[in-house]
Amino acid sequence: MRDGFHQRELWLSLGWQDIKQRYRRSVLGPFWITIATGLQALAMGLLYSTLLNQPISEYLPYVTVGLIVWNVISASILEGSDVFIANEGLIKQLPSALSVHVYRLVWRQFLFFIHNAAIYALLVVAFSIWRDLNWSILLVFPAIVLLFLNAMWVSIVFGIFSTRYRDIAPILSSMTLMLFVLTPVMWSTKALENSVGGMSDRAKLIEIVPTFHYLEIVRAPLLGEPSEWHHWAIVGAITVVGWVVAILALKQYRARVPYWV
């Protein structure tokens, strides 16, 4: 991991080149990232605010921030499982640390995240969210750090084992779709509580979905809502355990990855 970080000129350049290549010969270039996410959030916000009878001024920012965070989570799982297979040529030909490809992926996703953050900035002004913001918004910075630290260990662990066992990638694809449905991205826990008459056992079931806690530590500060500390504790525990598994996997299998790809 240290050697890969020291080669940051390489993965910083490759990550930015990935975005430029994707939107080559496009007039708006990487801003299509922002436009695509914005249109998706607008469509979902208008539809589900009507279906769920929610005020658009509250529901649209809720869905938008949820989608921005979910895009990072989803890419960490799906692209992370393919990170070494997709870089087969570089792994076999370029004398670099294996972690370079993980840093490249996470750097690219961070750039996507920054582009999409412009949508949130627009909503802050359009719906006067700035009036509800307080000093707790500073919690978003450690929350984002935790989000991308987890993106790294997920890419390492899933990347290594998906390279060895190719059936893992389609399993993860199905699992990610299931997590999207279970995670309150398009629906809110408050609406669930109201519909069942208080915080019942049914409403508490959402606590067992790990992605819910990642969503909450980022979304709550950005919307001016109180951040519950048990979300931070759960995310912190998952981060520690995940990195222990990632380090053990790298120590045991990193030399075999070039043969597996």
Strand extents, DSSP E, 85-210: none
Distance CA 70, CA 93 (A): 34
Question: At 70, is the pLDDT very low, low, confident or very high (cuts 50, 70, 90)?
Answer: very high
Distance CA 227, CA 224 (A): 9
What's the confidence (pLDDT) of residue 149? 95
What's the confidence (pLDDT) of residue 148? 95
Distance CA 128, CA 97 (A): 47
Question: At 22, is the pLDDT very low, low, confident or very high (cuts 50, 70, 90)?
Answer: confident
Identify the weakest region by mean pLDDT among 16-30, 41-55, 74-88.
16-30
- Asked if pLDDT for residue 57 goes beyond 60, the answer is yes
Contacts 24+ apart (CB under 8 A), 2-7: 3/97, 3/99, 4/96, 4/97, 4/98, 4/99, 4/100, 4/102, 4/103, 5/99, 5/103, 7/96, 7/97, 7/100
Distance CA 260, CA 53 (A): 52
Neighbours of 129 (CB within 10 A): 19
Question: At 192, is the pLDDT very low, low, confident or very high (cuts 50, 70, 90)?
Answer: low
What's the confidence (pLDDT) of residue 152? 95
Mean pLDDT, residues 60-80 taken together:
91
Identify the weakest region by mean pLDDT among 22-26, 97-101, 246-250.
22-26
- Asked if pLDDT for residue 195 goes beyond 80, the answer is no
Mean pLDDT, residues 63-86 taken together:
91
Identify the weakest region by mean pLDDT among 20-29, 81-90, 161-170, 205-214.
20-29
Please state, rounded to an integer, the average pLDDT across all residues of the chain: 86
Mean pLDDT, residues 230-255 taken together:
94
What's the confidence (pLDDT) of residue 68? 92
- Interval 206-236: pLDDT, tens: 788 899 999 999 999 998 888 888 999 999 9
- Asked if pLDDT for residue 92 goes beyond 80, the answer is yes
- Asked if pLDDT for residue 201 goes beyond 70, the answer is no
Strand extents, DSSP E, the chain: none
- Interval 139-184: pLDDT, tens: 999 999 999 999 999 999 999 999 999 889 889 988 999 999 888 8
Domains of the chain, by residue range, sit at 2-21+28-260
Residue % of the chain over a pLDDT of 90 = 35
What's the confidence (pLDDT) of residue 202? 61
What's the confidence (pLDDT) of residue 28? 64
> What pTM does this model have?
0.86
